[in-house]
Amino acid sequence: MKFSSSDTNTMLELLRWRRDVRHFKPTSLPEETVNTLMKAIALAPSVGNSRPWRIVRIKSEDIKAKIIANHGEANEIASQEYNNKERSEYQALKLAGLKEAPLQLAIFTDIDPSAGRGLGRQTMPETLTYSTVIAIHQLWLIARTLNIGVGWVSILNTDSLNETLDVDPNWKLTAYLCIGYPAFDDDTPELHRTGWQENTAKEWLER
């Protein structure tokens, strides 16, 4: 397989338009689309071919309500790290689309998978999590090609999430993803648009 410069340009456009999305339409995704997202995960590289990602698709409304409450509490605690004006700025941010996103996935990393027989991770155990992060990013990009938005939620109490989802103690939360059709399109990151954090391109160092 040979790719061309038009593929490069398309890929760059895709990267430019990939956004973290927190505002979703309630429209549900076709199952075929969900399968395509899962295929993108399955194609990811992983240390020692350990494929350490573990995925829980949240369907129960009761569990969703618990996760919304979990995020609400974690967000309130996080806001206490800021004072005065900064706290109000933080509190005004929308940092998750948990109430609206039609597809929600809790993605864990198994920190002791049998696959891969330990190759690579004996010296760098963190490479298991890196592998899961790459898989998530592949899903993120494929989702964008389908005009679907992904929002990464990390403001959660992970112990309580593991308890809510009743998962293996070796599974560590890597990401909670809110997925669905975006309520609007924007090529500017929301945290930049709201004035919280500008998107600045950094040059590399040379030695």
Q: How far is CA 75 from CA 79, 85, 135, 153, in A?
A: 6, 16, 26, 11
Return the structure tokens found at 206: 């040379």
Which residues form the interface with ligand FMN (CB under 6 A)?
A: 19-20, 22, 95-96, 152-155, 189, 191
Toward ligand FMN, which CB reaches closer, 104 or 116? 104
Q: How far is the CB of 4 from ligand FMN (least distance, A)?
A: 26
Toward ligand FMN, which CB reaches closer, 55 or 191? 191
Q: How far is the CB of 189 from ligand FMN (least distance, A)?
A: 3
Cα 69 to Cα 156: distance, rounded to the nearest angstrom = 9
Toward ligand FMN, which CB reaches closer, 118 or 183? 183
Return the structure tokens found at 105: 């996935």
What b/e readout covers 15-38, taking b as 16+ CB neighbours within 10 angstroms?
Answer: eeebbbbbbbeeeebeeebbebbe
Q: How far is the CB of 134 from ligand FMN (least distance, A)?
A: 12
Q: How far is the CB of 109 from ligand FMN (least distance, A)?
A: 13
